[in-house]
Structure formats: structure tokens, C-alpha cells
Amino acid sequence: MERISFEDFLRVDIRVGLVLRAETFPAARKPAYRLWIDFGPELGVKKSSAQITALYRPEDLTGRLVLAVVNFPPRQVADFMSEVLVLGVDDAEGRVVLGEPERDAPLGSRLH
């Protein structure tokens, strides 16, 4: 495990967002969804390509709160510009389980 400083951690901007729209992403090399996520008035709506198809359907994602890194540079994924990285962890079978706040939190709230 590589160690980082606390200052390095503080540079990673992780925020709460609300999935407004989710759709299949057939152009992606690995199974993925295209997501549109609202991070509140400061950041607005950002797009993400997320490889979370094993446990979630698009209709399961709409209206769900998620945690995402919002200060990585945008990344081109096939014909889609992914602006944020939605966070999750692998379960015992290697499927991504979304990281999400356990209670409602204002959109755009920063993880401390």
C-alpha cells in the first residue's frame, strides 16, 4: 500500500451528487452506463461513465445519491466525456457496489 500525506488526501474533492439520468453505454469497451449527476448549484450537472452494470439497472440509479471525485480532469470514454469518477468498492465477486451517503445530504456536500 502506497502512503500519501494528509495534504494529498485533502486535494481529492469527493462530493455528494444525485443521479438524474442513467442509460446504457454500448460504445464503451467494458459494460458501463452513462450517468448525469447533479452536484448542486456550485458544480451543477456532471457526466460520468460508470462500470456498475453487474448490480444496478439504469432505473435503479435514477434518484440515487452517490459519492464521486469531481476534480479529476475530464476523460474521453468512446464518444462520451466523463467528468467525474463515481466511487464504489468491489464485493466478494468483484462487482462494484456504489459508495453512497447513508442519509440525505445536500447536493455538492464534500466528504471530510
In sequence order, which residues have a C-beta less than 8 Å from that of residue 79 and are 6 or more positions away? 27
pLDDT for 22-70, tens place per residue? Answer: 999 999 999 999 999 999 999 999 999 999 999 999 999 999 999 999 9
pLDDT for the residue 89 = 98
pLDDT for the residue 13 = 98
At residue 89, the 3 state secondary structure works out as strand
What average pLDDT score do residues 15-27 get?
Answer: 97
Q: pTM here?
A: 0.95
pLDDT for the residue 24 = 97
Query: Which domains does the chain possess?
Result: 13-98 (2.40.50.140)
Q: How sure is the predictor about 94, in pLDDT bands with cuts at 50, 70 and 90?
A: very high
94, exposed or middle or buried, with CB in 10 Å at 0-12, 13-18, 19+?
exposed
How many Cβ atoms from other residues are within 10 Å of residue 92's Cβ?
5
